[in-house]
Amino acid sequence: MSNRIRVAVGGVTGWAGGELARGVAHADDMTLVAGLSRGAAGQTLAELTAHKGTPGVAVASIDELAEGAFDVYVEYTRPDVAKRNILQALAKGAHVVVGTSGLSDEDYAEIDAAAHQAGRGVLACGNFAITVVLLQKFAEMAARHLEHWEIIDYAKAGKVDVPSGTVRELAYRLGQVREAAQVVPVDQVKGPKETRGATLSGSQVHAVRLPGYQLGVEVIFGADGQRLHLKHEAGDGSKPYVSGALLAIRKVHTVTGLVRGLDKVMEGL
């Protein structure tokens, strides 16, 4: 890499991607060289980020970006195009940071294979907020000692992907510790089985979609006579995610293949 990391942001006008693009544009060690946005294609990145020194214009598709033109691609678009964008970025020689939710474990397996073939790193973070990073670490610790737990996924009414990327990552990581124990297996319950949620990586997951929520995750551990609740709740703004995403951009070149979780590249965690 050059001294300044050349960054392309997918979803450069989105709720999270837009805030990140401004963060990249103002970072001393990065240059925002490209942004993806169908609605804003042709607009200058300087205008979109309110940073006069940012070159280039937004484009509608990653296909319009030249091979070798960027060092790191940050995926913040939509679940239905995310995997293709990631694979395209790897094929163009870039490392990838994934913030888009909705990708499955099967999708990540394919991405991991492509990343190894390309000799590049992919850092997938369901959530860049430090409170989520800590929740994931605490939950892994708890799962080593408590065998019963379930996960609740909270989000705004209009969020179409279920569960969130944060919860998918949490369930995956808990599944690496062990599967949650169930006194009554889901296939043996009496009544609608859907009321027990979906089984994801060995955890029961329940998705709540209601007005008044932005993003949240709760994992509840149960044992005889006691419970442990670990919960993260996000506010309306996207700024809390920027510092973690910038860290991911700086660190993704240190890994090869797919790594899930920002804490994997954070010292001391």
Please state the CATH superfamily assignment of the domain spanning residues 130-233 in this structure: Dihydrodipicolinate Reductase; domain 2 (3.30.360.10)
Task: Tell me: pLDDT of 2 over 60.
Answer: no
Task: Tell me: pLDDT of 1 over 50.
Answer: no
Structure tokens at 90: 């790897």
Of 77, 20, 30, 14, whose CA–CA distance to 253 is shortest? 30
- Residue showing tokens 């990145």: 45
- Continuous H helices in 50-177: 79-91, 105-118, 130-143, 165-177
Global pTM reads 0.77
Cα distances from 201 to residues 35, 167, 221, in angstroms, run 34, 11, 16
Q: Which residues contact 163 (CB under 8 A, 6 or more apart)?
A: 151, 153, 171, 198, 200, 205, 207
Phi first, then psi, for residue 136 (nearest 5°) are: -60, -45
What angle, 0 to 180 degrees and rounded to 10, lies between the N-to-C axes of helices 130-143 and 242-251? 70
Q: What is the pLDDT of residues 3-12, one digit of tens each?
A: 899 999 999 9
Distance CA(30)–CA(70), nearest Å, equals 11
Q: What is the pLDDT of residues 224-246, one digit of tens each?
A: 999 999 999 987 767 778 989 99
CATH 3.40.50.720 residue ranges of the chain are 5-128+238-265
Q: What is the pLDDT of residues 159-175, one digit of tens each?
A: 988 999 899 999 999 99
CATH 3.30.360.10 residue ranges of the chain are 130-233
**What percent of the chain lies above the pLDDT cut of 70?**
98
DSSP string of 97-128?
A: EE------HHHHHHHHHHHHHHT-EEEE-S--
Could you please state the CATH topology (level 3) that the domain comprising 5-128+238-265 is classified under: Rossmann fold (3.40.50)
pLDDT at 126: 78
Distance CA(202)–CA(200), nearest Å, equals 5
pLDDT at 163: 94
Cβ burial, residue 260 (10 Å; 0-12/13-18/19+): buried
Three-state secondary structure call for residue 235: coil
Q: Predicted confidence band at 36 (pLDDT cuts at 50, 70, 90)?
A: very high
Task: Tell me: pLDDT of 118 over 80.
Answer: yes
Q: Which residues contact 141 (CB under 8 A, 6 or more apart)?
A: none
pLDDT at 122: 98
pLDDT at 35: 93
